[in-house]
Amino acid sequence: MMEDVIINKVAQSSLVTLDLEKFYPSEELVVFDLKDHLFMELILKEKEYREALKNLDWNIYQNKNVAITCSTDAIIPLWAYMLAVTYLQPVAKDIFFGTEKEVFNFLFLKNLGKINPQEFEEKRVVIKGCGDKKIPETAYVAITKILRPVVKSLMYGEACSTVPIFKRK
């Protein structure tokens, strides 16, 4: 009697699956919020601000990516950000201006920028749709821009159930 053999057609296909989680920023990201150093969280008093920065334990930012922002509607003079950077630069891994989400997106896109599009030339690529980590929309936009010029086809989802995005004619 002949047994029915289950054939994994997905494994045999020429699809290349790209998991965007591999490009997830791995370094810790912390926020330096100027709001915490303002009078009534609204007014920057230069003398007090300088004194607060001077007395802050900057080691909490050691080897971390830092997002400098102000989460209130205060008017912040540009030099205030610059002064914070002079304290952060000797300890932080890197320093960026923006909210935590903006800086995270920037770091994600920076990681995606390391992709060599030629590795995907004329291939059928599936951008993995499910995972353990939330992938920002900016990453999906960026990977489409990176791969569309070179791939044979681009899909979203899982190899067994994809949504077609682009197909070269």
Residue 55 falls inside a structural domain:
yes
Higher pLDDT, 4 or 79: 79
Residue 55: both structure tokens together: 């007395």
Q: What is the DSSP letter of 43?
A: B
Residue 82 has pLDDT above 50, yes or no: yes
58: Cα separation from own chain's centroid: 24
Same domain, 13 and 58: no
For the cut 90, the answer to whether the pLDDT of residue 152 exceeds it is: yes
DSSP-derived letter for residue 89 is T
d(CA 166, CA 66): 37
Average confidence score pLDDT of the chain: 90
**Enclosing domain of residue 136:** 9-25+105-167
> Are residue 77 and residue 125 in the same domain, yes or no?
no
pLDDT, residue 7, reads 43
59 within domain boundaries: yes
Select from 47, 68, 92 the last residue of a domain.
Answer: 92
Whether residues 83 and 117 fall in one domain: no
User: What was the pLDDT predicted at 2?
Assistant: 58
Q: Is residue 98 part of a domain?
A: no
CB atoms within 10 A of CB 135: 19
For residues 129 and 109, membership in a common domain is answered with: yes
